[in-house]
Structure 1
């Protein structure tokens, strides 16, 4: 669907004959004041200089009207015409528009404020358009890999002379790619709901320790496959108020990240502490850590600093974590050094 172009018609300032007549009479009376003040008879005022009075008043009135008209054009019509033209360009998809202020900073008025707000709006629209383009490109790239796997192995399965074990391997590979694709779609939809706040966080009481224990048990096969040691330090029970479903996504993603980026025979430490007004959960690992660039971009959608582990995720996990913690009014602190591991610390209100 193409963008609709908004059409605006700006009318030039018309010369007002009512204003001219009013100014003419007003200045005529003002011009006659000296004669009225110093003469005993109206005839002394009207003659012999009546014609000159009329000409003088006409010149002054026309000059004043033209000056007022020019002032109105410069102050209102010209800026509003520029705003109308800029709005048409934005409506057609041009986000490079910038409106210069009408006055100097010390003399800003509501027109300058309007222009500033317009420039801010255009900048936001440009940012959204850029993010949309990047999002489409990233989604297309992430879809391409599992679809290519499914297609290539499906074509290979058409061979009639395949052994049963080979066929089973191909089918398992296709199933894994389809699962990855379904997870990608699910994460995209979930992140979209979080960003648009379609689903508001719930506030219910639940046992945080019990939830973390369930997450640990679910991750146990991965821990064993990579021969990782998980050290846990948390109380027996800890009741908090929050959204258990959203927070479970946080723990799953952070623990999965720690497992993903920790080499074999490494260790992960999970600590839970209870303060008076908040609860702190920290997940530390002895993994590969992050450099400055990765730390700066790690919460961006589809960003993966270490592409060697790209097949183990889609770059949406930390983006979801950041968005969820924003919704539940939690705080996230990250400490990481390249080659030394990372620590993610989450503080949640009680």
Structure 2
């Protein structure tokens, strides 16, 4: 690109110089020919010859060329050309040829003009201009060659510089491909685009390592949390098989084993829903909806559960909340929050479901009068299988808030945990979902 642009520039310069010389010469010859023709019309052949001689007398540079002959003969009336040059027969023809003037051979640019009874040649000696044109042409060729050389050299230097700056990236990616996830791209300290690229890639690698550790932790948690119910179900079935006094006891043992297996199945279903939400697989089910009926359905279901535990269930919902999202996932997320709130609220406490429309978002909040979460536990509340110390004795798998977090992320929203009543002990917990307006 550099070579093409530079060569185009040189070509334009050549055309503007050598071409300008040609146009200047033609303009001078044309003006001279018009003036001589006008002189002929005023003073005839004698006046024309005198005008030519006057021009030759004041031509210090000896560049002007003239020849005036009789139309039918070869008698020379005026001029400094030794003979009539080989010229086209057409009147007003322009041509270049070698001529002799004053006994000297030269390259000339000539214009033939036929007048009644006369033949006139007007021209200019182009020897110096031809030499200048030749010098310009040689300069253009040398300059073009230098441009190509510098372009190739610059391309090689640029490629070498790029390879040098990208070599740490190649080395790091090769190490990672070989299984060394601890490798990171070294920064040059210049703060340029390559350093920003390296920082982005290093951040991506850190995220990958975090995800890998998360997968490893989830696998360990799954193995730990499923081992106990599976072992318990197996022990009960073995006891029922070996020592069952009657059919009723056998049926009770089988029903208890089925309940344990259902709990294991619910854990796997929750993991699958979280995986679908995190992968964005449910985004195809997004549709415009009114969130208020969804919240009302969840409140109707869990109000009965709250009353059964001696709790008060309160709602504060507007008339409409227009949203674009997955109705089933949103209902599942709200249900998980209400289930947790009822689970940790003591008898006589209050569970509140509220929603409101903000300028740029829709806010849904579930508050309870439970023990709440300390700030250290809030940072891990969205992780799979995480359970705070206060919740160890409460039934659950630690996947409820993980699903809520995944659903909120799928809807490009925000999940926030805070104290429901900071001035009371225990402060309770208020979980806030902020979902973007359509």
Q: State the match for 1:258 in structure 2.
A: 341
Which residue does 2:190 correspond to in 1? 105
CA contact (8 A) 1:212 1:251 kept: yes
Match of 1:231 among 314, 323, 333: 314
Residues 116 and 333 (structure 1), Cα distance of their counterparts in 2 relative to 1, 3 Å cut: closer
- Whether the 8 Å CA contact 2:240–2:249 is kept in 1: the answer is no
Q: Which runs of 5+ in 1 are unaligned?
A: 1-70
CA RMSD of aligned residues (A): 3.1
Q: Give the TM-score normalised by structure 2.
A: 0.56
Please report how far the alpha carbon of residue 289 of structure 1 lies from its aligned counterpart in structure 2 after TM superposition: 0.9
Question: How far did residue 191 of structure 1 move?
Answer: 0.7
1:12-69, Cα deviation, whole Å (9 max, x unpaired) = xxxxxxxxxxxxxxxxxxxxxxxxxxxxxxxxxxxxxxxxxxxxxxxxxxxxxxxxxx
Instruction: Work out whether 1:214 is the aligned partner of 2:297.
Output: yes
Describe how 1:336-347 pairs up with structure 2 within 5 A: 336=419, 339-347=426-434
Give the structure 1 partner of residue 270 of structure 2.
187
Distance 1:96 1:145 in 2: 35
| Greater radius of gyration (CA) | 2
1:95 aligns with 2:181: yes
Question: Secondary structure of 1:345's partner?
Answer: strand
TM-score, structure 1 length as denominator? 0.68
Is contact 2:354–2:365 with CA below 8 Å preserved after alignment?
Answer: yes
SS of structure 2 residue aligned to 1:263: coil
Distance in 2, matches of 1:311 and 1:164, equals 32
In structure 2, the residue matched to 1:267 is: 350
Q: Give the number of the structure whose residues are more often strand, by fraction.
A: 2
Tell me, in whole angstroms, the C-alpha distance in 2 between the residues paired with 1:156 and 1:335: 47
Instruction: Determine the structure 2 residue equivalent to 1:241.
Output: 323
Provide Cα deviations, 1:118-161, integer angstroms capped at 9, x if missing partner. 43343233222212211211121222122122211111110343
- The alignment partner of 2:262 has SS state of helix
Q: How many residues align?
A: 276
Q: Is 1:204–2:288 an aligned residue pair? A: yes
**Higher RCO, 1 or 2 (CA under 8 Å, sep at least 6)?**
1
Q: Deviations over 1:268-299 (max 9, x none)?
A: 12223345665433221111111111111111
Aligned structure 1 segments of 4 or more residues deviating by more than 6 angstroms: 71-74, 76-79
Matched residue of 1:158: which SS? helix
